[in-house]
Amino acid sequence: MKQNTLLKQFSFITLILVIFTVFLLAGCNQKNDKFTKISDLKIPRMNHTATLLKNGKVLIIGNNGNYALTAELYDPKTNKFSIIKEDKLKPKIHKNYPHHYDYKTLLLSDGKVLINLYGQLQIFDPANNSFKIVYGLNHKKFIYKPGHSTTTVPTKKRFPSTAMAALPNGNVIFAGSIEPIFEDTKHGKRFIKYKSYASVDIFNPSTGKFTNLGSMLENRFDPEIIVLPNNKVLFLGGANSDKDEILDLKTNKLSLINTIRPKGYFTHSISSDNKILFINETYEKRRITSIKARIYDLPLKRLSAEGIMNIPRKEYKVAILKNGDVLFTGGVDNKREIIKEAEVFNQESGKFKIVGNTVWKRRWHETTTLKNGDVLITGGINPTGYDARAFNKAEVFTTLK
């Protein structure tokens, strides 16, 4: 009898130990979303660009505190940055240049990167880390505020906008062009503004020449351009209209279609596999009160449920993850305090979830989804107020696997 009692006690204790071990191992094997500090950028940056290359590295170009254009590479194998020792990123942007943030980069079909420096186009070749000017515009200083400062603008009349997309044949399609407008003063020519046009142009990086295909049916300012698999191009948004446009590259004809954008939303970003993020921001007396998000899967023609962010913010950055969800990082609240909590929008459930805090508080930073699904977060401004300045901190967000 006593032996049976001892046996039962032993069996019960053994069972408890087994259950505890299972839970312990499950906890050890569980992988959570997390932010991890990595090495610093070589140069402090804000409002820069970060382009994922076909070799898995990231090309980082753009502003430091003095708005100078410099470049460096991030290698995910070493989690380190290296400066590109070449000074062909010209023109150097003058400190009073009114559009020193308006430049973009574009990964081409051959793996090279087109850099649109607002009127000047360059090609970055990752094979030898070199830059080459393929469409040059001389920039000249003109009066911006008479008697006080000057600005730097292109000397040619018309030049392409920053709305562009890579075509499969290696060419680039541009939507819109811009012309600087001046007036004569006793101090010389004074720059007033830029005038936009609805032109559609094809640029050949090999020849450095443009071919005009006509004009969009509506005057769209900086629309999103999506290259479709059926030799057609979609111009999305950029106009006060409920219509988008389709360009047939075989006939060069444009036609209006009903927009796929939900009412009240604007197009924020597009992933490489044509998942489109739509955002709705609500303000009351310049105070952000809510942010809503939806994902449209263009290949499947499916719109996700609507989600509401837990912590509304301004000046945030997004990264569309490999599974189609969206990571929101940084930004400021209505008191201009930087928000450290990051959120992920789940396209299936239509819900936002706080996934932790970034290593550093930041705004005006950049996020890049890497080939392994992680997200590189670089630069930005920290803190706010008079002490705000570009900084060189970087981190990686590791997603659930």
Which tokens go with 362? 């930041």
Cβ atoms 247, 232 nearer than 8 A: yes
Residues linked to residue 58 through DSSP beta bridges, in sequence order: 52, 74
**Which has the higher per-residue pLDDT, 117 or 394?**
394
- Per the domain annotation, does 13 fall within a domain? no
Residues 187 and 269 in one domain: no
Residues 202 and 329 in one domain: no
Residues 236 and 282 in one domain: no
- Per the domain annotation, does 272 fall within a domain? yes
Give the whole-angstrom CA distance, residue 23 versus residue 27.
Answer: 6
Residue 26 clears pLDDT 60, i.e. is over it: no
Residues 269 and 398 in one domain: yes
Which of 217, 237, 259 is the endpoint of a domain?
Answer: 259
Residues 245 and 334 in one domain: no
User: What is the tens place of the pLDDT at every residue in 252-298?
Assistant: 999 999 999 998 898 888 888 888 999 999 999 889 999 999 999 98
221-235 CB burial, b ≥16 within 10 A, e <16:
eebbbbbeeeeebbb
Q: How many helices (H) and strands (E) does the chain have?
A: 1, 32
Look up tokens 């509304």; give the residue.
Answer: 312
Residues 252 and 330 in one domain: no
CA 82 vs. chain centroid, Å, equals 21
Kindly tell me the burial class for residue 150, based on how many C-beta atoms sit within 10 Å of its own C-beta (0-12, 13-18, 19 or more). buried
- Per the domain annotation, does 314 fall within a domain? yes
- Per the domain annotation, does 14 fall within a domain? no
Which of 259, 282, 299 is the endpoint of a domain?
Answer: 259
In terms of Cα–Cα distance, which of 47, 381, 221, 334 is closest to 235? 221
- Per the domain annotation, does 317 fall within a domain? yes
**Which has the higher per-residue pLDDT, 184 or 285?**
285
Q: How many structural domains comprise the chain?
A: 2
Residues 252 and 270 in one domain: no
In terms of Cα–Cα distance, which of 296, 294, 270 is closest to 281? 294
Give the whole-angstrom CA distance, residue 351 versus residue 345.
Answer: 6
Under 8 Å CB-to-CB from 31, ≥6 apart: which residues? 398, 400, 401
Give the whole-angstrom CA distance, residue 322 versus residue 307.
Answer: 19
Which of 259, 284, 319 is the endpoint of a domain?
Answer: 259
Q: Sorting pLDDT into bands at 50, 70 and 90, what band is 9?
A: low
Most confidently modeled range among 61-75, 114-128, 158-172, 305-319: 305-319
Residues 249 and 323 in one domain: no
Which tokens go with 225? 């351009």
Q: Sorting pLDDT into bands at 50, 70 and 90, what band is 89?
A: low
Long-range residue pairs from 131-134, CB within 8 A, at least 24 positions apart, any chain: 131/71, 131/86, 131/88, 131/89, 132/88, 133/88, 133/90, 134/205, 134/208
Give the whole-angstrom CA distance, residue 233 versus residue 249.
Answer: 7
Name the residue range of residue 315's domain.
262-401
